[in-house]
Amino acid sequence: MRKHETMTPQQRVQAAINHEIPDRVPIDLGGFQTGIHRRAYLTLLDHLGIEDDVALLDPVQQLARPCEQLLERFHVDTRYVCAHGPDSFHGGIAQNERDGRLWHDLQDEFGIVWSMPDDQRLYMDISHHPLADADLDDIAEHPFPNGGDPTRFTGVREQALRLRNETDFAICTGIGGVVYEVCWYLRGLERWFMDLIRDAAPCAALLDRMLDYWRDFYTGFLGEIGDLVDVVMIGDDLAGQNGPLFNPRIYRTLVKPRQKALVQHIKGLTNAKIWYHTCGACAEYIPDLIDNGVHILNPVQIGLVGMEPADLKRKFGQQIAFWGGGIDAQHVLPFARPAEIKEHVRKNITAFKPGGAYVFNNVHNIQCGVPPENIVALLDAAYEFGFYDGLRGSRP
């Protein structure tokens, strides 16, 4: 029997991220870290008998933009508003032949090139790091894009107003505020890590330029929609499967001050909650993110050291909301049977939902190869087990 909802999607999300108990756990699908791969989306559409002219949300990750019919089928409470490239940037994907293979190449505004072989078409990897051999002068002279170019934001207020006035969904931004990761995209990961150890001056110079870019970006973006949006999504991957990607001392002296400065800048532009994305076993950094002013952690990669749902909720649940952590996306979601999927979701929601402060999503994007039956089981279980049974309104 269908349970009774007593809140709108926006009210539900706002209650959850304000550490209040909603009528049910909100459900998110369709963002840049909470989305679905194009191929998985196509198989899901076919399974459900839904027709859609599939549009790409993100060519690098090959994410589809879910259609409204599918979002409504799974009771998704969020919708997204994104900025776009400035009028001066003429991007696009070029096809080039190299080593006997056809490649799809995308050069972004920073000069980074992302490539995908045509015979695979799963996602794009970086094939060119424009500052790999740069010195400090080269970094200073590199043509960074203008984050505050007003043409980036053409139409975004109209889009947000339509969502606010014609629907009752919670409004989220696309991902941004990538202060740290874009630096290694420019430099190359190995070179970046070596710089952190041997000579951090190039790292500091790049971080400062990235911080300036994102400050300008959010000044313009939130100047348009800061009064309408519910969640501002930023992020940098700080951890891997086994813990921090680099020495936490370096993070706290070099990266954290810039991240904190950006979070505080954003908080001066909007009352929306700040959502932060980092994959991996990131428990080491949760106190730092809270100190930075972050309100919400994503994707909550459960199953890793320090990332058990009940432990996270007990240690940090009154200080930060969790958004994700719905299922082990590496070992369970692709391979288990639907009944097992349902039970895993039930256990995770049971751990995360007490006292609110939880929004359901898979751990990161649903990848190619996940059976559509498992996706249906995942999202249907989130709805079935998410209700609070009349306990709405109290704090933990």
Average the pLDDT over 164-169 and give the result.
98
- pLDDT for 240-264, tens place per residue? 999 999 999 999 999 999 999 999 9
Residue 394 scores a pLDDT above 80? no
Nearest to 202 by CA among 192, 210, 211: 192
Per-residue pLDDT band for 2 (boundaries 50, 70, 90) equals low
Q: Are 48 and 73 in contact (CB under 8 A)?
A: yes
Whether residue 299 is preceded by a cis peptide bond, meaning omega within 30 degrees of 0, is: yes
| DSSP characters over 352-383 | H-TTS-EEB--SSPBPTT--HHHHHHHHHHHH
Distance CA 31, CA 33 (A): 5
Which amino acid belongs to residue 331? Answer: H
Paired with 115 in beta bridges are 105, 125
H-helix or E-strand containing 296?
strand 296-298
The letter for the amino acid at 88 is S
Q: What is the pLDDT of residue 391?
A: 47
What is each CA distance from 228 to 16, 77, 85, in whole angstroms?
Answer: 18, 16, 21
In whole angstroms, how far apart are CA 280 and each of 184, 239, 304? 18, 5, 7
pLDDT computed for residue 353 by the predictor: 96
Residue with token string 């500091």: 204
Which of 169, 168, 75 is closest to 378 using CA atoms?
Answer: 75
Q: Which domains does the chain have, with CATH numbers?
A: 9-384 (3.20.20.210)
Q: At what angle do helices 372-384 and 338-352 cross, to 10 degrees?
A: 40
Q: What is the pLDDT of residue 223?
A: 98
Mean pLDDT, rounded, for 145-156:
97
The answer on pLDDT for 1 being more than 50 is: no
Q: Please write the tens of the pLDDT for every residue from 167-209.
A: 999 999 999 999 999 999 999 999 999 999 999 999 999 999 9
User: Per-residue pLDDT tens for 84-100?
Assistant: 999 999 888 999 999 89
Which residues lie below 8 Å from residue 390, measured CB to CB, with a gap of 6+?
none
Alpha-carbon gap, residue 358 to 13, rounded angstroms: 9
Nearest C-alpha neighbor of 299 from the set 360, 386, 372, 229: 360
